[in-house]
Structure 1
Amino acid sequence: MTRTKIDYGIDLGTTNSAISRMENGEATIKKTDTLKDTMPSAVYINKKKAIQVGDSAYNALKRDKLRAMKTWNDSDSNSYIEFKRTMGSDKSYSSSNLEKDLTSEELSAEVLKTLKSFVKDESVNSIVITVPAAFKNNQKEATREAAKLAGFDHIELLQEPVAASMAYGLDSDKKDGFWLVFDFGGGTFDAALLKVEEGIMKVIDTEGDNYLGGKNLDFAIVDVIIIPYIQETFVIDSVLADDTKKQILRNAMKFFAEETKVALSFKETHNILSDLGDLGEDDEGEEIELDITVTQTDISNALSPVFQKAIDVSKNLLERNNLKGSSLDSLILVGGPTFSPVLREMLEIQICKPDTSADPMTVVSKGAALYASTVDVSEEVREQTRDKTKIQLEIANESSTVETEEFVPIKILADKTKGEIPKKVFAEVTRGDKAWSSGKIEINTIGEIVEIQLNEGKTNIFYVVLYNDKGDILESEPSNFSVIQGSKIGSATLPYNFGIELKDKSTGKVRFKTIKGLEKNQTIPAVGTLNGLKTQNQIRPGMDSDFIKIPVYEGEHASEGTRAIYNEHVTDILISGADLPSLLPENQDVDLTVNIDRSEKITVTAYFPYLDYTTEIEVDSTKTSIETTWLANEIRKAKGSVTELMQEGNSDVGKLQKIESELKKLEKSFENNKNDVDGKQEVLTNLRKSLKAIDELSETTEWPKLEEELKEEFYKLEKANSDLGNEKTNQLVNQLRSQLEEVIKAKDVKIGNILLEEINRLFFDLTFIYQLIGMLRNFNENFGNYSWKDSNKARQLINSGISKISENPDAEELRQILISLFNLLPQDEVPSGDNNVLVG
């Protein structure tokens, strides 16, 4: 069967995955090889180099992790899971059986290949794959890469909460109001707020955490219940003192934790039992074994703090949209952990009673298939599968609607058809239930409109049959189409502010700047623009060493104006002289246009008005890498900043104590995850939130120091002006004096910083000639301390400059001499400051 719509959806999960297909208008789960709806997202490579995926791989993984406890060596493992959480990072997984390392994308590709293999009756070339709404750009790019490795030609990405709401909305009788999708998966958490009006769904805001999910719940059970039991019963001091051994222990115990979590979702107690000899020996040679009875109270104590993080994210999402839990018409649960009675009770108390009508395990996969039924197969794939011996049709139907009648244009594609087309062709459109038919309508290459009638609240499938004027049936494709009635999904939205690192021309500080049109919650596809940016240096044609750097970032809610490093770095776009046709002088305009398509693929166009030249760059995300020592140092500096703020007498003691508490938790988490890429990324993500809060509090203690600096710098300016100024500079100084008085009265830090920059700029302009003289004299006096590329040429330039100083020098002449001297220095000896980023 040739498909014109994608029709296939995959929920590529952290711990479990599923594939669905549209069949006779219904989203249908394709059963796994073990006849389940989902399969573990686990991969195992045996000694014969054969790759196993699913249940057998999961069982092998458990054997591997338990075996590692006997030798305290996990390096020989050939089984893997939860690699979705390291997608887009530089994490690699060593396989001794394959004798090579595997990336997260390669492992995910094996899961996708296996899911595809469950379809026995046709080849699957096009796919919709769901991703968490909070996935960063590099993680989405990694998902696309995995799909390409799995052999898919046409790949569309869809946010998981959007998929879930689509499947839920089709069956729900609630067609109006606000919905909150609470998507707690195996490795990630998403909250999506939707507004629904007469069945038309619109995502209005999202929030999430890429490092919060079932994995965190499992380790909470390990750390709160299982390891304390082992500590009380056995001697494991040497294990807990060794980071590597401790992680091996935690990984092995995680399987018992997962079984406990699942069991206590459906019953009151669970016994954790291990077989003698499975877990190795303690420090004194005694066999370690588990015999723990876990109650609902125990599991609540362990899991509530983790679930609370997700609930807090959801409450913050509602609060910033001026809503309460009582404002919601539906709270939709997605993901295996949402079966937990602990979570459901917490949600009912803190937000509202959840709707449990949809299956949390399959709703995303089914929703992906429903969405896939609305997306045309790409023309490239369509051409590969087209049977041109049949009459080719173009059927331009609405894929989803809230109406009960729709107009559908149908026309013959003569240029795509190889066989003979009769002079007269008639089409009859019949609804799948046979209760409605259009009758025979003549169609041609121009097109004809067919008015169809829809059954309410379901997917309607329509069959198209062609006839000649004698009533003979003609073979055609496509031979059917479907329309979802009762709900219409709006487009997904941007989960982050998309922007760049930019030097502020007022303050000189490098900050995150959101690109207009690409703000968080903007409907996608989206186009953003940022015009009138300025280059700092000239760019010579053909010179790779001359370049403009555009650091691209994704920023959370309220990220505008924050330090760029507190946001997620996507990539650095470099435009060098090799990309430009001719010389681009310094201080020239650059206009940026950024396109984000419905799968959140990013393309950047840079236009240079001076050259009337445009260059286009497709954004490839940078894989993340986190150095353990660097992260430890960043946590230490954050703690130091809090201590400093307390010593300075910051008035908001409550906030400082909260940040201090969060940093202690982060430090503990870091100690547990020093050797885990995923764990370190989680720590960094949460550390950034604390750093932003520290910055906000710093502003309240910044004023006294800023006031002192403003007065001091203005005094210097007045003195310089009295020595070197003129009538024009006198006016400027008087204006600044008035502004200074207003700023001191208002105690406004932001305006104060801008004013300080203006004072410094005027001082610089007044004393520029003296600064140039000073720099030249410094080069002359410390000539031997610099690593000149050509010392003879440098000496000649300095001598020329010194000579001009004694002859009433011209500032521009001295500036040109200094530029030539800078070009003779190695990059690390040039005066500091990134002059490659744009200014705006």
Structure 2
Amino acid sequence: MRNKIDYGIDLGTTNSAIVRMENGVPVVKKTDKQADTLPSCVYINKKKELQVGEIPYHNMKADAIRALRDFKKADSNTFIEFKRTMGTTHNYESSNYGKSISPVELSAEILKTLKSFISDENLNSIVITVPAKFLNPQNEATMQAAKLAGFKHVELLQEPVAAATAYGLGSKNKDGYWLVFDFGGGTFDAALIKSEEGILSVLDTDGDAWLGGKNLDEAIVDQIILPYLQENYAIESLLDDIEKKEILRSAVKFSAEEAKIQLSLKESWNILSNLGDLPFEDENGEEPEIDITINQEDLEKVFRPIFQKAIDITNNLISRNNLKGADLGALILVGGPTYSPILRKMLKEQVSENIDTSVDPMTVVAKGAALFASTISISDEVKEISRDSTKIQLDIKYEATTVELDSLINLKILKDKSSEILPDKIFAEVTRFDGGWSSGKKIIGEKASIIEVLLVEGRSNSFDITLYDETGNKLECQPNQFSVLQGIGGLDGMQVLPYHIGIGKFFISEGKDLFKSIPNLEKNKPLRNGIVGILNDNRTRSAIRPGIASDKLRIPIYQGEFGADGSNPLLNNLVTEVVITGEDLPALLPEGSEVEITIKIDSSQLMKFSAYFPLLNHTEELQVDINNTEPPTEELLNNEISKAKKVAKKVNDSDVSNNLDELEVQLENEKGSADGKMKILDSLRKELLILDKAEKLAEWPKIEKALKDSFFEWEELINKIEDNNDDGEIDIDKVKSNNIEFKNTIEQIIRQKDSKAAKELTDIIVGLIIELRNSLTGGDVDRRRIEYHDKEFNNISWKDKNKARVLVNQGLKLIEEGKTNQLKSILYQIWDLRIDSDEGGDTLS
């Protein structure tokens, strides 16, 4: 039985790997083909059997070529790159399987196969790496795949953190800043790491979940291979057909991928098709062939815009942390595409000269995952499954990582877990992996014994535990080994939130829902042992009656990027929507009732939600069900891009306009691909966020004028009151005190050009003006309010129509009697009876 998890899996878009800690060293476990990595490829044969790895990868190529004969896409039974659709509703059709199969099920097959390479023990616990920019639905899908694969204890680890762990352990540079540049098969992550005397911390992360080696392959297809075929053969009608074009792209993508790999090592490469590689005829009855020689210069034109996106993200990450590329002690390359000489040249020119190639880009993530796993205790459930009570059961407690050269171990016997009769005296000897240090025999028992162990610098130190009785006979124990990472620390706090966590909340000043971050759940908050965020100052916008299912409070939870606060929630990523109805509450919850929201997030970014209602002293704890994302349609994307282009023109943003033009071209090329459309939607949202801010800036002069005008009206009203000595029952000193406070606040708002705050303050001032005039006129404003409710009575939705009619009639009677200064209390009751929400329920305000 292992004391720690000790196993790490890099579940990659195109290739995956499994690594185990052996004698303190992360060892890549070879595939059945004796390779370090396994192609993340699944084939379903006619017997409905699922095969994984290299053979399916070759079958996929044959399937893709075969599909060219009749251009029937449904004939494919081999799947790859499904990681990019994890967490979505997209499924893959298989003619052999007789039904569709989900990305989760396909990923589970990869995990099962990796697990099968471990033949000498049962594997129940695992650390699986995920891109730092994975959204909650993608993380949840990864957890589901692991459970389907039979893992009982699963921890998710961000890929840059895994890479930094592997690099940091062997690095001689224990102080300074590192940048992990992880350009994988389907995703890009960048992480800024700070190391202080070996203690690692993640300062900031960024990336693009839709940027990776696949984009490079597609660029070669769309900019080199297809134009060559179009120029030399009559295939216009084929290219105009979405499905047929996608089938052709899939068939030639293998040639593109091979060219990409070869040109990482060579100056030029000839893409040459073999007989039968393109088994179809063009419009002139000719069978196409490919014969293209590509050199580094040709490839640079194609790759540069893609690599530039990753470099721009990286430079923005560095600069927003007030650093320069020259401040980096190491630029750590991760992922197969980082072998590209084009990328390395661009990184040296634009980011840093300090490119570090000391780690293997292909296996560093999996090795880092195993090292990280060696610090995570296996769960109690798995311990009980693995426990062999015929062996003496031990409990070992210690710090799994340290920058010191010694460490203290607590060791004791678990007598109640051991079925054998134990000797009166038991001795333990702890021996280091290299034999260079031993504790000697120490007596141990049911109370903890402390043993100080000496460590070898800069590596994982494994120790064997041997038990003896008084006569020197060896006794079997479990666990009989443990390890301590020397040279790095802080691993428990390295993972950070990759996004702001917030809700959609109604803002009266804006008249709409906006994204509101939850305190303590901001981007880059360390996930050490889980974190808790609490959002106060929330109010219900309508009453919720007990037992009434149609009375709803909706709380949509989003993940947002930098600058998401105050943005349209739909421009961010919806995690889930929590709905609380009258059936959940024990009593009436009036409109305007306070609600306190609490969200707990664990180290794998999984959530727990609760809402506390102080008025009812009631807490509603709800399961956060993560919803799969629906891939967008081509029509939706076209419409949204078209609308965005009009806004970009209106705010005169040429950069966004150019980016939107590029998205239109991408959509034309990838409209037949689910993950391609998801990628375009993600890019579009980023442009829409920019436009959202630009529109607010363009609107600012009008907002500023409204704020100033309301304040000038307020000041003018106060001056008139003072000049006429007509303050009545008004506390003029308090009013003047508010006036000074308003002046200071307005100066700050104008300085920051804070549109939201300006609108909120404008509403406050206008409200005060109305109430001040109402007070001065003896309730004339309230009179008009009562008369309005009388006139529009049948057009207003009421909670209790009869009660509302009685109150309005009481108000009319007071007006008739000239008692308008007594209308306020009646108006409050009337407002409480109004229903201003839609049938779907309200968000909070």
With normalisation by structure 1, the TM-score equals 0.91
Seen in structure 2, the aligned counterparts of structure 1 residues 225 and 196 have a Cα distance that, compared at 3 Å, is: same
Distance 1:799 1:162 in 2: 65
Name the CA distance, whole Å, in 2 between partners of 1:834 and 1:719: 44
Is the aligned partner of 1:667 residue 2:672? Answer: no
Residue equivalent to 1:483: 484
**Is the deviation greater in 355-364 or in 553-562?**
553-562
Residue deviations 1:466-507 (CA, integer Å, cap 9, x gap): 122222222211111111212225321111112222234665
Query: In structure 2, do the counterparts of structure 1 residues 19 and 660 end up closer, same or farther at CA, with 3 Å as the change threshold?
Result: same
In structure 2, the CA distance between the partners of 1:713 and 1:328, relative to structure 1 (3 Å rule), is closer
Residue of structure 2 equivalent to 1:777: 791
Q: Deviations over 1:408-430 (max 9, x none)?
A: 11011122122212222111111
Tell me, in whole angstroms, the C-alpha distance in 2 between the residues paired with 1:800 and 1:614: 36
Greater mean deviation of Cα atoms: 179-188 or 232-241: 232-241
Q: 1:439 to 1:769 in 2, by over 3 A?
A: farther
What letter corresponds to residue 836 of structure 1 in structure 2? D
Instruction: Give the Cα–Cα distance (whole angstroms) in 1 for the partners of residues 727 and 225 of structure 2.
Output: 76
1:395 corresponds to: 396
User: 1:137 and 2:136 equivalent?
Assistant: yes
- Is residue 691 from structure 1 mapped to residue 688 from structure 2 by the alignment? yes
Deviation string, structure 1 residues 126-172 (Cα, Å, up to 9, x no partner) = 11000001111111011001111111100000000111111122222
**Residues 508 and 757 in structure 1, CA contact (< 8 A), matched pair in contact too:** no
Question: CA separation in 2, counterparts of 1:103 and 1:775?
Answer: 55
Name the residue aligned to 1:651: none
The DSSP-based 3-state class of the residue aligned with 2:154 is strand
Deviation (angstroms), 1:510: 2.6
* Superposition pairs of residues 351-390 of structure 1, within 5 angstroms: 351-353=351-353, 354-390=355-391
> Contact 2:542–2:837 (CA<8 Å) still a contact in 1?
no
Bigger Cα displacement from structure 2, 219-228 vs 553-562: 553-562
2:715·2:739 contact (CA, 8 Å) conserved in 1? no
Shift, 1:189, TM fit = 0.1
**Structure-1 separation of matches of 2:358 and 2:125:** 30
Give the letter aligned to residue 692 of structure 1: L
Aligned-partner residue type, residue 247 of structure 2: I
In 1, Cα distance between the equivalents of 2:186 and 2:465?
Answer: 44
The whole-number CA distance in structure 2 between the counterparts of 1:720 and 1:776 is 30
Q: In structure 2, the residue corresponding to 1:75 is in which secondary structure?
A: helix
Deviations 1:577-617 (A, max 9, x none): 33333333332222222222222222123222223332333
Shift in Å, 1:818: 7.7
Q: Secondary structure at the match of 1:394?
A: strand
Tell me whether 1:623 sits opposite 2:628 in the alignment: yes
Matched, 1:493 2:514: no
Name the residue aligned to 1:472: 473
Alignment match, 1:522 = 525
For 1:481 and 1:234, how far apart are their aligned partners in 2?
65
The corresponding residue for 1:336 is: 336
1:125 aligned onto 2:130: no
In structure 1, the residue matched to 2:677 is: 680
Task: Confirm or deny: 8 A CA contact 2:611 2:621 kept in the other structure.
Answer: yes
SS of structure 1 residue aligned to 2:31? coil
Structure 2 residue aligned with 1:537:
542
- How big is each residue's C-alpha offset from its partner over 1:27-53, in whole Å with a ceiling of 9 and x where there is no partner? 111111111111111111111111111
Matched, 1:436 2:450: no
Deviations 1:432-469 (A, max 9, x none): 22221111111111111001111112221111111222
2:814 match: secondary structure: coil
Bigger shift: residues 352-361 or 304-313? 352-361
Distance 1:421 1:764 in 2: 85
Alignment correspondent of 1:650 = none
Given that 1:706 and 1:749 are in contact with CA atoms closer than 8 Å, whether structure 2 keeps it comes out as: no
CA distance in 2, matches of 1:807, 1:697: 52
- Shift of the 130–778 alpha-carbon distance from structure 1 to 2, 3 Å rule, reads same
**2:172 aligned residue:** 173
Q: Compute the displacement of 1:621 (Å).
A: 1.6
Counterpart Cα distance in 1 of 2:269 and 2:479: 54
8 Å CA contact 1:166–1:489 kept in 2: the answer is no
SS of 2:600's equivalent in the other structure is: strand
* CA 1:452–1:818: 2 relative to 1, 3 Å: closer
1:761 aligns with: 767
* Paired AA for residue 561 in structure 1: G
Aligned partners of 1:88 and 1:189: how far apart in 2? 18
CA distance 1:695–1:687, shift in 2 (3 Å):
same
- Pair 1:807 & 2:813 matched: yes
What is the aligned partner in structure 1 of residue 697 from structure 2? 700
CA distance in 2, matches of 1:621, 1:264: 42
Q: CA deviation at 1:777?
A: 2.6
Partner of 2:611: 606
Deviation per residue, 1:705-727 (Å, 9 max, x gap): 33565578789999999999975
SS of the aligned residue for 1:488 comes to: coil
The amino acid that maps onto 1:15 is T
> What is the one-letter code of the residue matched to 2:450?
I
Aligned length: 814
> Is the CA contact 1:699–1:749 (under 8 Å) kept in the aligned structure 2?
no
Q: What is the aligned partner in structure 2 of residue 653 from structure 1?
A: none
Matched-pair contact (CA < 8 Å) for 2:811–2:826: no
| CA shift for structure 1 position 361 | 0.6
CA contact (8 A) 1:141 1:620 kept: no
Distance apart, 1:779 and its partner CA: 5.0
Matching residue's letter, 1:228: P
2:508 aligned with 1:502, yes or no? Answer: no
Q: 5+ residue gaps in structure 1?
A: 647-655, 823-829
Which shows bigger deviation, 538-547 or 18-27?
A: 538-547
Name the residue aligned to 2:778. Answer: none
* Residue 800 of structure 1: how far off its partner (Å): 5.8
Alignment partner, residue 652 of structure 1: none
Q: Which residue of 1 aligns with 2:818?
A: none
List aligned pairs for 1:788-799, cutoff 5 A: none
Cα distance in structure 1, aligned partners of 2:148 and 2:426 = 43
* Alpha-carbon distance, 1:743 to partner: 5.0
Q: How far is 1:563 from its partner?
A: 2.3
Q: Residue 238 of structure 1 corresponds to which residue in structure 2?
A: 237
Superposed CA offset, 1:244-293 (max 9, x none): 22222222221111111011111111111112333212222211111111
Aligned pair partner of 1:586 in 583, 591, 594: 591
Judged with a 3 Å threshold, the aligned counterparts in structure 2 of structure 1 residues 818 and 169 are, in CA distance, closer, same or farther, namely: closer
Question: In the alignment, is residue 838 of structure 1 matched against residue 839 of structure 2?
Answer: no
CA 1:534–1:806: 2 relative to 1, 3 Å: closer
Contact kept, 8 Å, 1:718 with 1:733, in 2: the verdict is: no
For residues 439 and 744 of structure 2, what CA distance do their matches in structure 1 show? Answer: 80
Between the aligned residues of both structures, percent identity stands at: 49
Q: What SS does the corresponding residue of 1:437 show, helix, strand or coil?
A: coil
Q: State the partner residue of 1:420.
A: 421
> Match of 2:514?
511
Question: Of 624, 638, 644, which residue of structure 1 is paired with 2:650?
Answer: 644
In the alignment, is the contact (CA less than 8 A) between 1:506 and 1:758 conserved in 2? no
Q: Who is 1:107 aligned against?
A: 106
Q: Secondary structure at the match of 2:644?
A: helix
Q: Secondary structure at the match of 2:442?
A: strand
Task: Tell me the secondary structure at the aligned position of residue 442 of structure 1.
Answer: strand
Cα RMSD, aligned residues only = 3.0
2:163–2:365 Cα contact (<8 Å) kept = yes
| Cα distance in structure 1, aligned partners of 2:804 and 2:377 | 68
* Structure 1 stretch displaced more, 567-576 or 324-333: 567-576
Change (3 A) 1:389 1:643: same
List aligned pairs for 1:16-27, cutoff 5 A. 16-27=15-26
Superposed CA offset, 1:355-403 (max 9, x none): 1111111111111111111111100111111011211111112212111
**Secondary structure in structure 2 of the residue aligned to 1:277:** coil
* Contact 2:31/2:114 (8 A) holds in 1: yes
Equivalence for 1:209? 208
Instruction: Tell me the CA shift for residue 754 of structure 1.
Output: 2.3
Aligned counterparts of 2:532 and 2:119: Cα–Cα separation in 1? 41
Q: Does 1:571 align with 2:576?
A: yes
Instruction: Determine whether 1:260 maps to 2:259.
Output: yes
Q: Distance in 2 between matches of 1:428 and 1:673?
A: 63
Aligned residues of 1:772 and 1:811 also touching (Cα < 8 A): no
